[in-house]
Structure 1
Amino acid sequence: MATRILGIDPGLRTTGFGVVECEGSRLHYIASGTVRTDALPNGDLPGRLKIIFEGVREVAARYQPDCAAVEIVFVNVNPQSTLLLGQARGAALAALVSGDLAVAEYTALQMKKAIVGHGHARKEQVQAMVARLLSLPGEPSRDAADALGLAVCHAHAGASQAAIAAVSPLARRAHAQYRKGRSY
């Protein structure tokens, strides 16, 4: 059975979204794009958050994902920017959970490592690898590529988690490392 995953790359001006379907180890591109708030004046934070909330909710309603993956906000050198980004992320999360979606969270480092192979990849590298992994005719926008990368990252993580869960507790214990009487 195929699992549809919605990736969200939150941003106050541009929130990226990407939808992929995972069937076994095969990934299929469904859609991607952005929710843009730049038509509003800079000082209208509540208006921007409303657009993000409604936009993410609309995307979730249109594509009917089974779960979602959202980027975790990193601490920026500018604390004000970090707080604003956190509010945009909160609006996106609220939209997802209001639709009863399970939400997984990944750092940009985790997503880049899963997609490109190292956590300090540039945006262009993520765009190119996402296009390659999903057999896209061209590269998606930066925000959409990050969102698609989060969805792909979650597809890979979900498969790993299912494989771990399938192993019996006794078998997991047999392969655990022991140090000073504790298993790791």
Structure 2
Amino acid sequence: VEAWERYTQARAEAMRYSYGETTCSAQTWQAAREQARASGDPVTFTGDNENGETVQSLAAPVNLRGLTIGVLGLHRPTAAGAWRPEEITMVRMIADRLALAADNLRLLDETQRSAARERLVGEISDQMQRATDTEALMRITAEELNRVLGGSRTYVRLGTQAELAGGSGHEPQEERS
């Protein structure tokens, strides 16, 4: 649950997709979406769209391990009739599968990011292993971290505990290029 929240918070805005034309007003949809989210159950309602036509709508929460991670909404003209119990059940089942599929994609994304990080660490480690002396090791470490992380300056300091305790700890006593 926390992993899903971190995943969505890392994105600039909510993930959404819309297909089709018949819909209810934004205000009506927002109220229904909130009711479905709060109750954890599908909500059916009748509302008017922007053209003043009455539509039948269904808002089903997308629940993942007790957390509502989204809402699945369906709208149709009133002529199509009210949502039948078997349709609501099917939408609920699809919403459950949507939650699992979305979480699987989150896990895949997380795994790919972790693998990319591990690759970078491996590349930097390979470069570091090629160093022939301490000076080259520090230079390679600083250059590679600067390159990978986009830093403007990277600082490496090695020494005894007493040497490391001296000075500001942020800048070298003398710079080497």
TM-score (norm 1): 0.28
The answer to which structure, 1 or 2, has the higher relative contact order (CA under 8 A, 6+ apart) is 1
Larger Cα-atom Rg: 2
